[in-house]
Amino acid sequence: MFYLKYRPKTIKEIDNLSAKVMIGKILESSTLPHAFLFVGQKGTGKTSTARILAKAVNCLNNKFSSNPSNDSQSYEPCNKCANCKSIGLSSFTDVIEMDAASNRGIEEIKNLIRETSFLPMSGGFRVFIIDEAHMITNEGFNALLKTLEEPPESAIFILATTNLEKLPKTIVSRCLKINFGKANTTDIYSMLKRIAKIENIDFSDDLLRLIASHSENSFRDGAKILEEVTFQKIKSVEEVERFLGIRGRNDLIEIIEKKDLKKTLSWIEDFSQNGGDFKSLIEDILNQLHSQLLIKNDVIKNEDNQTTLNLNEISLLMKLLIEAYQNLRNTPIDSLPVEIALIEFYNKIEGKKL
């Protein structure tokens, strides 16, 4: 998979300039913070950077190494020593990754905290990476707070989240916040160009730009689309447009704006026939509606991307889609929850029986 193959492995390779500079400065200084908070949209390099940081502080060949025969002043991980390699394979006992989306309760957090009392096995630091940190329960946060207030000398916490506003302020204030923001089209374009070169994919710049602009500000999505397009042997800009159209989420919102049930149902049918994943479809539409909500209320600025749906319609649609999302688990036919949600949406806003 391109997006895994081309995951950044050194701080130099991280494309988000501000995050890169900030982490570099921290690693250059003599004292390390014990708690980091990585904030940013999906696919902007939070997990990759957390692993790079874990390698950097445990590497046997850089400035953090306690090996007397090592005189390197670099803070970059070497990616060659036993520690770097084993962190790369997720088999290093001193780096503990927890996905809070599936381990959000007090027991899991308590287990994690218990782990922090052990000293590192191979020198360096024990690094605790908590992904989707906003999913932790209140009880879990309370337990974690105590540890973050007085972290053991040898422990480093890295909390990663896409939803800063869902984290308690008390937690946020104890962490050093690093913003990964969104990936911009130019950065994604240069990543695609780099991958295309190494993979010998001969695509025009226009084509790579088209893919970059459809990547929803995510490096991961960009790399995925490039891989799918190459796999399907698609070459021309028109073909790529068609390909993105079938899978494109913008399209569905545009159809919803027109409130055309027939077009909506046939779009969903196409999407389903093409192997589309309804879970990520709903997630993507909800993300877009959420942005639209913020744009409409001037919380964020974006003049050229405004939906014609009004606030009531946006919130009704979000509510119905969240229900559809929950119903995905129990449906015999994947497309049903979205179909029902949209039928109900049209029905409610038009106030008529369909």
Q: Which residues bind ligand ADP (CB under 6 A)?
A: 3-4, 6-8, 14-16, 40, 42-48, 191, 219-220, 223
CA distance 298 to 313: 17
The mark string for 39-78 relative to Mg ion (x by CB under 5 A, - otherwise) is --------x-------------------------------
Instruction: Return the number of the residue (59 or 253) whose C-beta is nearest Zn ion.
Output: 59
Tokens of 234: 């698609």
Name the residue whose CB lies closest to ligand ADP.
Answer: 45
Backbone angles phi, psi at 36, to 5 degrees: -115, 150
Closest alpha carbon to 178 in 41, 51, 40: 40
307 binds, among ligand ADP, Zn ion, Mg ion, none (CB under 5 to 8 A by kind): none
Identify the CA nearest to 292 among candidates 316, 277, 308, 278: 308
Name the residues that contact Zn ion, by CB under 5 A. Answer: 59, 61, 77-78, 81, 84
Contact partner, 84, from ligand ADP, Mg ion, Zn ion, none, Cβ < 5-8 Å per class: Zn ion
* 345 contact choice in ligand ADP, Mg ion, Zn ion, none (CB below 5 to 8 Å, kind-dependent): none
Tokens 């250059």 correspond to what residue?
Answer: 28
- Nearest in space to 133 (alpha carbons), one of 112, 114, 154: 112
Among Mg ion, ligand ADP, Zn ion, none, residue 78 binds (CB under 5-8 Å by kind): Zn ion
Using Cβ positions, the residue closest to Mg ion within the complex turns out to be 47
Nearer to Zn ion, 57 or 160 (CB): 57
Q: How far is it, in rounded angstroms, from Cα 314 to Cα 290? A: 8
Report the residue count for the chain: 354
**Which does residue 281 bind out of Zn ion, ligand ADP, Mg ion, none, counting CB within 5 to 8 angstroms by kind?**
none
Quick one: tokens of 89?
Answer: 């394979």
* Residue 81 to residue 71: CA distance in whole angstroms: 15
* Dihedral over Cα of 247, 249, 251, 253: its sign: positive
- 67 vs 274 by CB, closer to Zn ion: 67
Query: CB 321 → Mg ion: shortest distance, Å?
Result: 23
Quote the radius of gyration of the chain (alpha carbons, Å).
Answer: 23
Smaller CB distance to ligand ADP: residue 132 or 313? 132
